[in-house]
Amino acid sequence: MPETTRQTQGSGVRYLTVDEDSSGQRLDNYLVRELKGVPRTRLYRALRKGEIRVNKGRVRADYRLVAGDQVRIPPLRQPSPTEPPTVPRYWSEQLRQRVVHEDGDLLVIDKPSGLAVHGGSGLSFGLIECLRQMYPESRYLELVHRLDRDTSGLILIARRPAVLRELHRQLREDKVDKRYLALVAGSWPRNRRVVDAPLEKNVLQSGERIVRVSREGKRAITEFAVVER
């Protein structure tokens, strides 16, 4: 079912009706897709001020949409769609060599350190902008999860909304196992250590996402194991 748009005459305000394909998607990711070119910082500011609403109410950026939701979009300046961010050839060449898996549903990329997953916060481009330039024939490319700019590792890119929803479900239900390799200075006291600390996700005013230990956070258990000394 295609999404429908209704515009209030004279005000510039638009109302988008969420379709089945977008049901279950986070609001901020939906807005980035629908309002291409609008910086995330501007979108987060509009959400904080209540300029962007769902079903006439204020919502958080992590609100998950439901088919039939009415999303209020205020007038937001958008750059011309003919002016995509310029991606240096260096990154395009790097990423072409880092495609680990590719099919009609999914891209798996070994993201290098130093590349953000998306533009914003003073960055004109990131991984997703690079991929959209590399795959102009793909109508849908969305990040399934994120890694910090300085962290290298595998990133999943969904090529269909249904795939994005299913992978998000698996992430929410802790059916995905994430493992990281890290270099540690000094002597690690034990070969294995378990840290049980609640983690809370936060979005800064710049739009940058951070995770920190907080009593109000979600329980997180992290196991550390020495691989090599």
User: Which residues are identified as catalytic?
Assistant: 148
- DSSP characters over 79-121: --TT-PPPPPHHHHHHHHTTEEEE-SSEEEEEEPTT--SS-BT
**Rounded to whole angstroms, what are the CA distances from 205 to 23, 45, 47, 51, 63?**
27, 7, 11, 16, 18
**Rounded to whole angstroms, what are the CA distances from 68 to 3, 38, 145, 153?**
9, 24, 25, 36
d(CA 5, CA 168): 26
Query: Phi/psi zone of residue 114: left (φ > 0), alpha (ψ -120 to 50 degrees), beta?
Result: left
Q: In the chain, which residue ranges form alpha helices assigned H by DSSP?
A: 27-34, 40-48, 89-96, 127-134, 161-172
d(CA 124, CA 127): 11
Cβ partners under 8 Å of residue 124, min gap 6: 85, 86
The candidate with the shortest Cα–Cα distance to 125, out of 92, 96, 154, 155, is 92
Amino acid symbol at 99: V
